[in-house]
Structure 1
């Protein structure tokens, strides 16, 4: 499989799920939480972000298509995942479970329809609080968290302040480009 040309959007196979009852009521105005629209909108954002990122990815992460999961849940669900997988108590805003982490680089042209990246899990409860505290809308916060999760799926990490600053700068560029 060959990677898409620079700037062209890769195909996205997204498994989107919204935990029952989580997106009710207060989120009614958010298309990113509306079950009728969310999967299509998330796919478009992820595809646009990947189109920007593909040229800078290592060869084994370049593909014409990507498969990933995204789940919007509550604080209780993400706290359980956080404890199970990171051994940290309490909820967090976003978790990323990278399928390619530690995997040997696959040769290009391996015939796969899409490259499995992993899963992004976002707590809507925490996203709502953070959006309120930052003085912006839920959609802006969700896009910020999803872009952060995507970068983690692609191997970005922030073990120190400099790495975090670089990652946040890259997120800002993704969000700015997708807003235009």
Structure 2
């Protein structure tokens, strides 16, 4: 899928996952989700302090969270947006590594597995998924489990509730 995905990575905190692995995962996930056009997204791994600031600014919640997704289609156009080259701009995913680390410990799995879970959750939001009620949450969590299975992490992250 060379040229299919422009992935911009910003690691404010070191990533236990190599850049090539992140790229591979996102390419697999996009294919699994039926995305066929070239697309662009960014992933930022950051601190609780930084994600708290973003959460306060954009969601009016003065607390850290595990993952935030800023979908380009919500912010820029209701029907999605493409740049002049035809690349679909998906948006930005921001993950708090300290929160992910705590959740991984509580769930009994590795940090890399929790980061994959959170990244898949963020990606679904960028593609328009949401979970305003229990049924839609369960559908989204099931889709996340399928995405993790596609990268062979299905048996290792056993989330049944929203992380």
Q: What TM-score bracket applies, with the shorter chain setting the length?
A: 0.7 to 0.9
Higher relative contact order structure (alpha carbons within 8 Å, sequence separation ≥ 6) = 1
Larger radius of gyration: 1
Q: Judge conservation of contact 1:14–1:39 (CA < 8 Å) in 2.
A: no
Is residue 116 of structure 2 the alignment partner of residue 143 of structure 1? yes
Per-residue CA distance 1:12-41 (angstroms, 9 max, x = gap): 10110011xx22xxx7xx2x1xxxxx3221
Q: Which residue of 2 aligns with 1:35?
A: none
How many matched pairs? 152
Instruction: Return structure 1 stretches of 4+ with deviation > 6 angstroms.
Output: none
Is residue 157 of structure 2 the alignment partner of residue 175 of structure 1? no
Q: Which residue of 2 aligns with 1:11?
A: 4
**SS in structure 1 of the partner of residue 151 of structure 2:** helix
Residue 115 of structure 1 and its aligned partner are, at CA, apart by: 0.7
Q: Judge conservation of contact 1:17–1:70 (CA < 8 Å) in 2.
A: yes
**SS in structure 2 of the partner of residue 14 of structure 1:** strand
Structure 2 unmatched ranges of 5 or more: 154-163
Distance 1:131 1:113 in 2: 38
Is residue 24 of structure 2 the alignment partner of residue 44 of structure 1? yes
Structure 1 unmatched ranges of 5 or more: 1-7, 33-37, 55-61
Distance 1:175 1:114 in 2: 25
